[in-house]
Structure 1
Amino acid sequence: MKTSRRSAVLIGVNQSGRDVQLPALRYAEGDAQAMAGVLLDQRIGTFDPGDVRQYIGADATWSDIKKDLRDLAIDSRPSDVLLVYFAGHALVPEWSTQRDAYLVTADLDAHTLRREPDNGLRMSFLKRDVFEAFAGTSFLILDCCHAGIYRDSEMRHAEAMQTYRTQVDRHSALLACPNGFAARESEEHGHGVFTSHLLRGLRGEAADDNARVSFGHLANFVGQQGIQPPPVQLVQMWGPTTVLTQPPVSRHERQPLSTPANSGTTRPCKNPLDDLASSITQLLGRVFHSETLSAHRPRQIDHAERVEIIRYALDADSAAVVEFSGPGIRTVSSTPRFNKDQLRPLLELSAADATLARLSSPGHVVSDNGRRVLCVPLSYEDGRLLTLTVVDPALAPLDMGEPLAVMLQAIWSTNLLDDPLQAQMHVLTALRTTFGRLPTTLYEHAFGLYQKLIESMTMVFQPVVELDLRPAGVSIHSYEALARRRENEVRAPLTALQMAHVWGDRFIIERDALLLAKSIHSYAAADADSPWEGTKPLSINVAVRSLLSDSYITQVKSALAEANLKPRTVTLEISEQDAIQPGPGERWLQQPLAYFHHHLTTLSRELHICFAVDDFGVGYSSLARMAELPLTQIKVDRTVLHHPLAVEELGLVVRVARYASDRGEASSPRAVVVEGFDDEAPVTLKQIYDLGIHHVQGYFSGETASTSLRELSFAVRERVAATVRGEDDQHQAAAAAGSHRGARSAARGGP
């Protein structure tokens, strides 16, 4: 669907209307047709055939033209463009006391104008009812030749045109109305003199360095051709940048027409960071490529190392973390040259300013006697203010102002030595969060860093265990692919994974696409060495926005084909932490849940993969989502297990999972998987099993997530079966009983 409409109304009239004593022109009608030919040229034109109207000769009637122009004005949008071109005569009636001209159409009757002044194409109509009403950007080009003797014996026409120059917002004009000259037509070129120059300019002679012809460049070009008197130019707002013709390339390869044709005249809405891209990049380089970072393997960083890295990055004399508590000043950590006693007057000033500004400003600078101290608050708790204090930093980074303080707070709060990629992304994400957007160079730098960060992760596979009363029936049902920074880590890198949501869809989709490809390829390799025949199902997490992206779906297809993995092996788990709703600028014709249901159904049919709800119990969880989406399984988040009404909630999930099959709409109920189960859970495996839930995932079986696939040992299967029968782990049962007593008490309104 087009986002903007570019319309042109081209009028050419050789004859002089009804009983208008003006000589016929020879080339006006051909001029309008030639203008249409250029605007619609397959090589250089920027207008589509259906949006260019031509009113030529006897077909150029004032009533049709006015109706067409008025419709365009009323239905216009801010992104639309309108070009009106007229070649012919102009007339100012003898009876008129106003400086207002008529463009002479084929049916203009000068005698009726005294009684019906609106029965014609009047300049005041164009200005008031068309261009002032047009919501977008509009342009007028007039080639009104003074050919022969006008009925306007006083030659007031030129002055009448000058009154049109009253400014109209979003409108530009180019008027060729020489005063009292004979026919301004060129037999040599077969055009009006003015239009012949227009055509030359549009065909490339008025092009800028990128071979694009804007209205502003065209007006300048025509004005330099020596026409006397010179044409009247009114070029304002987007006139200098709106493109009329482009270089001769295929239409699908052209730059968007919203791209300025003359970059020197654009006026972007500036972000405070737009002028700081170089400074930010330099500071990041000094922090993340310093000797302190490069000299160590990944590990935890202490305060002293953080302070030294910041001192180095700002080329400061010294730096410290200082705690202010009432009148007391205590140095928590510092570089060697920091002297609290010498700096006490500045520190006291800094403490006072920091206390006042800690809620409204991320930092401030205090100076006295040639020394300066940058103070950035880090935390405030129980009357104790912890600040990063930098003594005599270089002036250049100080000019960054608030962005510098935001970066320093982010640098302080991340572990620079453990994972420099994630730490640098953390700093850029802090800027993104605070200022809304980054300059293009920094944004692309962040996107490249994020790709590297995700690609550096390892995929491990956590088993989903099928419960049974008998040890022989306890087995691994399937696996879930989980991202880890390192294979032996238990915790997910949530900070790195979730920061994509700060940056938007492009980062989310790229994250999910990279993790999906890594999951499928790693799983195929692990499955080749697995101890059983046949491939067990694999679940992979995905965001709602990724499932709506064609590029993500393409990655699913190619990854499955490359790994030679059957599509039905894969289940994509849709997180309940993602809203199902249109993105910015999107419009869905159906209700969100219905639209997404249809989308998943189509994907399932085309890709032959399965879908599941993940993290039920958090975020945007709803029974409607569970019941209405085409899912093969429902995964319950571990937070449900620790809810006072956990058993009741799990029972409700089971009923929803059976809803479609109970109504005969599905052959079998959806599987329910309880995630995050461990030995600390107040709900027992027996209670879960008795509810009809036979699949559990977590750290209870003795098996941890790994890059390899292994069978459960007999000892593990025996212990799980005993727990399911209620014969094991009395402590867990007692804890569960206590939880239910509390739940019943809460239901009665007790404490």
Structure 2
Amino acid sequence: MSDRRWAMFVGSNQCGVQVRVPALKYAENDAREMHALLTDSNIGTFDKDDTRLFLGQRATAADLKAALREIALDSSPSDVLLVYFAGHALVPDWAPQTDAYLGLADLDPTLLRNDPDHGLRMSFLRHDVFELFAGTSFLILDCCHAGAYLANRRQHIPAIDAYGQQMDRHSALLSCPREASSREREQLQHGVLTHELLNALRGAAADADGLVTFNALARHAVEHVTQPTPGHLVPMWGATTTTLTKPSPSRQAIDRPLTPPVGLGKIVPCLNPMEQFAGTVQQLLKRVFKSKERVPAQRHGLDDGGGALERIQAALDAHSAAWVSFAPPNVRILNRTDQFDEVASRPMLEQCLQFVRPGMGSATSLGYLASDAGRHQMLCVPLASTDPAEAPALVFIDPAPALLAMGELLSGTLQAIWAVGVGEDPVYAEVRVLTELRRTFGRLPLTLYDHCLDRYEQLLKSLHMVFQPVIEIALQNHSVSPHSYEALVRRSPADQSAPFTILQIAHAWGDRFIVVRDSILATKAISSYTAANEEARTPRTLPVSINVAVRSLLSDAYVQVIRQAIEEEGLNPHAVMLEISEQDPIHPAVGEEWLQPPHKYFHNRLRHLARELEIGFAVDDFGDGYASLSRMAELPLTQIKVDRSVLHHPLALQEIELVMKVARAALDRGEAAAPRAVIIEGFDNQTDLTLGQLYAVGVRFVQGFGVGPPASAQLRPFDNRDREAIASQIREDLRRTREEL
């Protein structure tokens, strides 16, 4: 466990070389005094061995960058980092006003045009230091253009990793807006902002306990510096719980009323209560799933799934961890890390024993915190169990206090991580954990929603498409042939089963995820099918079916994706068939209002899309979902696909005969030129019905392992032997049926 408090103090009176700005008088002394005060043995909270002071000619961009990067990359969640800078700041003529360079000794504007990273930019501090720092961090800029620090956020660029999403344990105090100037005063012998900071740290901002936090420091500065008014970003608990100095309590500090924050009159959104921890969750997941390599498990008990216990312990910056089972009157250790002391931890385990009992599962409570007279803390996270006699839990000794502030969100995250396991692909694992949090807590912060959507898109784009043929069956060999193909998604081309868990994740998040999922998979299906056709050099392009959810067909964004994909690949629109899952209900979403009955409204929507896109529609999974007969009768469908589950019903033939009648209804009424095609899905060797029985009731199209070549990324040839096998099987089935009669 690290628990280090790092600090960097930088002061530079000069502004590099060849910069025509007056030298400052007090910047270097300001940095020196801030360093002395915060490392003072009586009231300071920083150890001199963990601080660095860069002054004058020794304050170079290269040295400061190296020192800060080393700290950031080796940090842990319990660490603290404070960076203070006093001096000039420069915005070159060619640079945007959303970034500025610190006026360090080696700043040379003539080199920056061709080498923008020659100096130290504020954006470097934000993106390459504080976004990487795992603990709580603070920045104080007493310089011109200080407000540019808040403006140089990444925009319109997908974050590379979880650290780039949000810094929810980072606070900043800036002496002026981005285009304004900071000031020194002769009578103060300091910069105006730093003068008030020193007063605050010496006790003017102390609370009733005689402690000065960053939040109190920032509030004091805003109250006492008026021209220009400093800006401050104090996003969460870290600023209020991290103590900077411990001056003696005073009557002034005790009696001072709390003042409201600066900026009254602004309109700000009401945040989700978990918003302040969104970045911490992302960072925690990255620390757990940062490597695809399996961590060797400590062999002190049951295997925990490839080192999950060790990896979670490291992510929490905890001293030690154990996987235990609470079953009164005993506590049994299932597995533990090397450092876990069962004897010393026994009192805290006994405390948890009265709360964690068999059968309660993880849903009853999202965690407990036990202690032993203030020396150590134990986080206890109950786990779900299928054994009513067991009450498994994870326990962690002295996890980082910064993470404990997450409360139930931390416990819920750990439960989800344990359920997912650490051996998964990192992207897939993150998505699964965030989805479990969504199911547990309901509404998550927007930043976590967007982060999960970004990861989900990456996951979907990594999937592959294979194509399973739909075979037209007949009594004669020459009439047996592929009728069409269905695009099926797989994690790898060799997989035989669909990644149902990945596909169902979208439904836990709602319409946007569903539309994104279907859009990505449809684009992939159309491009992959076009490539497969070109490779196979087929004389004509057979239709391809693509699965789609009801909610996607109601989205104009999805429709545009289909149109664009067909146009870009040069595919005949008539070759595209969208299969609507029978498992999707057809009704308005919460907050929607349809002016027509649901099936009529959706019927009109499909007719509009069929005319506009010139594609066909099918109902998929008949017999395994909502209002099957009414859906078939009322929707403008080109074909009907019967789910394989129907084949195992006791009255399977009667049900298929009913589907055949519904499929012919439009033709019988004179509303169609041909009956709808009925396709039997999932036909295999375990099916009770035979090809002959299906043929006898009018079925002409069958799909599954029992007919034709298996699904693959290529369109495999269908030769005479395949045709003969199917035709002869039908003839033999019919012959046996006649003999039995």
1:314 equivalent in structure 2: 316
Instruction: Specify the SS of the correspondent of 1:606.
Output: helix
1:561 equivalent in structure 2: 567
Q: Give the counterpart letter for 2:310 in structure 1.
A: E
1:404 equivalent in structure 2: 410
Alpha-carbon distance, 1:324 to partner: 3.4
Structure 2: stretches of 5+ with no match in the other structure = 1-176, 178-262, 298-302
Greater displacement, 621-630 / 386-395:
386-395
Q: Give the counterpart letter for 2:372 in structure 1.
A: D
Task: Work out the CA distance in 2 between the residues paired with 1:673 and 1:437.
Answer: 40
Matches within 5 A, 1:90-105: none
2:355 equivalent in structure 1: 353
Contact between 2:618 and 2:641, CA under 8 Å: does it hold in 1? yes
Task: Work out the CA distance in 2 between the residues paired with 1:483 and 1:587.
Answer: 33
2:380 equivalent in structure 1: 375
Alpha-carbon displacement from aligned partner over 1:197-250 (angstroms, at most 9, x marks no partner) = xxxxxxxxxxxx9xxxxxxxxxxxxxxxxxxxxxxxxxxxxxxxxxxxxxxxxx
Q: Give the counterpart letter for 1:349 in structure 2.
A: Q
> Is the counterpart of residue 426 in structure 1 residue 449 in structure 2?
no
Contact between 1:476 and 1:711, CA under 8 Å: does it hold in 2? no
1:440 equivalent in structure 2: 446
> Is the counterpart of residue 273 in structure 1 residue 274 in structure 2?
yes
Alpha-carbon distance, 1:518 to partner: 0.7
2:370 aligned to 366, 372, 386, which one? 366
Alpha-carbon distance, 1:571 to partner: 0.3
Alpha-carbon displacement from aligned partner over 1:264-285 (angstroms, at most 9, x marks no partner) = 6547554331221122122122
1:249 equivalent in structure 2: none
Contact between 1:616 and 1:636, CA under 8 Å: does it hold in 2? yes
Contact between 2:581 and 2:621, CA under 8 Å: does it hold in 1? yes
Task: Work out the CA distance in 1 between the residues paired with 2:700 and 2:296.
Answer: 51
Alpha-carbon distance, 1:566 to partner: 0.2
Q: Give the counterpart letter for 2:380 in structure 1.
A: C
1:331 equivalent in structure 2: 333
Instruction: Specify the SS of the correspondent of 1:668.
Output: coil
Alpha-carbon displacement from aligned partner over 1:507-542 (angstroms, at most 9, x marks no partner) = 111111111111111100100122531001100011
Task: Work out the CA distance in 2 between the residues paired with 1:591 and 1:491.
Answer: 37
1:720 equivalent in structure 2: 726
TM-score, normalised with respect to structure 1:
0.59
> Is the counterpart of residue 470 in structure 1 residue 476 in structure 2?
yes
1:633 equivalent in structure 2: 639
Instruction: Specify the SS of the correspondent of 1:353.
Output: coil
Contact between 1:304 and 1:335, CA under 8 Å: does it hold in 2? no
Alpha-carbon displacement from aligned partner over 1:666-710 (angstroms, at most 9, x marks no partner) = 111111111122211222222222221121112223622111001
Alpha-carbon displacement from aligned partner over 1:81-116 (angstroms, at most 9, x marks no partner) = xxxxxxxxxxxxxxxxxxxxxxxxxxxxxxxxxxxx
Alpha-carbon distance, 1:433 to partner: 2.1
Task: Work out the CA distance in 1 between the residues paired with 2:712 and 2:292.
Answer: 35
Task: Work out the CA distance in 1 between the residues paired with 2:625 and 2:370.
Answer: 44
Contact between 1:472 and 1:717, CA under 8 Å: does it hold in 2? yes
Aligned residues: percent identity?
A: 49
Task: Work out the CA distance in 1 between the residues paired with 2:335 and 2:680.
Answer: 46
Q: Give the counterpart letter for 1:276 in structure 2.
A: F
Q: Give the counterpart letter for 1:453 in structure 2.
A: L
- Corresponding residue pairs, total: 469
Alpha-carbon distance, 1:390 to partner: 2.3
Contact between 1:323 and 1:385, CA under 8 Å: does it hold in 2? yes
Matches within 5 A, 1:500-539: 500-539=506-545
Greater displacement, 468-477 / 394-403:
468-477
Q: 1:586 to 1:533 in 2, by over 3 A?
A: same
1:160 equivalent in structure 2: none
Instruction: Specify the SS of the correspondent of 2:536.
Output: coil
1:653 equivalent in structure 2: 659
Task: Work out the CA distance in 2 between the residues paired with 1:294 and 1:525.
Answer: 40
Matches within 5 A, 1:16-165: none
Structure 1: stretches of 5+ with no match in the other structure = 1-208, 210-261, 738-751
Task: Work out the CA distance in 2 between the residues paired with 1:263 and 1:702.
Answer: 71
Task: Work out the CA distance in 1 between the residues paired with 2:493 and 2:658.
Answer: 36
1:588 equivalent in structure 2: 594
Contact between 1:290 and 1:309, CA under 8 Å: does it hold in 2? no
Instruction: Specify the SS of the correspondent of 1:631.
Output: coil
1:343 equivalent in structure 2: 345
Instruction: Specify the SS of the correspondent of 2:650.
Output: coil
Larger radius of gyration: 1
Q: 1:672 to 1:303 in 2, by over 3 A?
A: same
Q: Give the counterpart letter for 2:677 in structure 1.
A: A
1:482 equivalent in structure 2: 488
Matches within 5 A, 1:176-255: none
Contact between 1:723 and 1:729, CA under 8 Å: does it hold in 2? no
Contact between 1:326 and 1:383, CA under 8 Å: does it hold in 2? no
Task: Work out the CA distance in 2 between the residues paired with 1:295 and 1:533.
Answer: 55
Alpha-carbon distance, 1:553 to partner: 1.0
TM-score, normalised with respect to structure 2:
0.60
Alpha-carbon distance, 1:592 to partner: 1.1
2:603 equivalent in structure 1: 597
Task: Work out the CA distance in 2 between the residues paired with 1:291 and 1:664.
Answer: 61
Greater displacement, 668-677 / 333-342:
333-342
Alpha-carbon distance, 1:441 to partner: 2.1
Contact between 2:304 and 2:335, CA under 8 Å: does it hold in 1? no
Instruction: Specify the SS of the correspondent of 1:586.
Output: coil
Contact between 1:304 and 1:334, CA under 8 Å: does it hold in 2? no
Alpha-carbon displacement from aligned partner over 1:274-316 (angstroms, at most 9, x marks no partner) = 22112212212211225856999xxxx9624221221111111
Instruction: Specify the SS of the correspondent of 2:384.
Output: strand
> Is the counterpart of residue 458 in structure 1 residue 464 in structure 2?
yes
Contact between 2:316 and 2:399, CA under 8 Å: does it hold in 1? yes
Instruction: Specify the SS of the correspondent of 1:678.
Output: coil
1:679 aligned to 685, 710, 716, which one? 685
Task: Work out the CA distance in 2 between the residues paired with 1:451 and 1:341.
Answer: 47
Instruction: Specify the SS of the correspondent of 2:507.
Output: helix
Contact between 2:295 and 2:306, CA under 8 Å: does it hold in 1? no
Q: 1:685 to 1:373 in 2, by over 3 A?
A: farther
Task: Work out the CA distance in 1 between the residues paired with 2:735 and 2:314.
Answer: 56
1:576 aligned to 582, 601, 622, which one? 582
Q: Give the counterpart letter for 2:283 in structure 1.
A: Q
Q: 1:610 to 1:439 in 2, by over 3 A?
A: same
2:669 aligned to 620, 639, 663, which one? 663
Q: 1:375 to 1:686 in 2, by over 3 A?
A: farther
Task: Work out the CA distance in 2 between the residues paired with 1:291 and 1:495.
Answer: 20
Q: 1:390 to 1:491 in 2, by over 3 A?
A: farther
Q: 1:491 to 1:388 in 2, by over 3 A?
A: farther
> Is the counterpart of residue 285 in structure 1 residue 286 in structure 2?
yes
Task: Work out the CA distance in 1 between the residues paired with 2:382 and 2:724.
Answer: 56
Q: Give the counterpart letter for 1:311 in structure 2.
A: Q
Q: 1:646 to 1:368 in 2, by over 3 A?
A: farther
Q: 1:608 to 1:347 in 2, by over 3 A?
A: same
1:700 equivalent in structure 2: 706
Alpha-carbon distance, 1:326 to partner: 4.5
Task: Work out the CA distance in 1 between the residues paired with 2:678 and 2:264.
Answer: 58
Task: Work out the CA distance in 1 between the residues paired with 2:666 and 2:585.
Answer: 24
Task: Work out the CA distance in 1 between the residues paired with 2:719 and 2:336.
Answer: 54
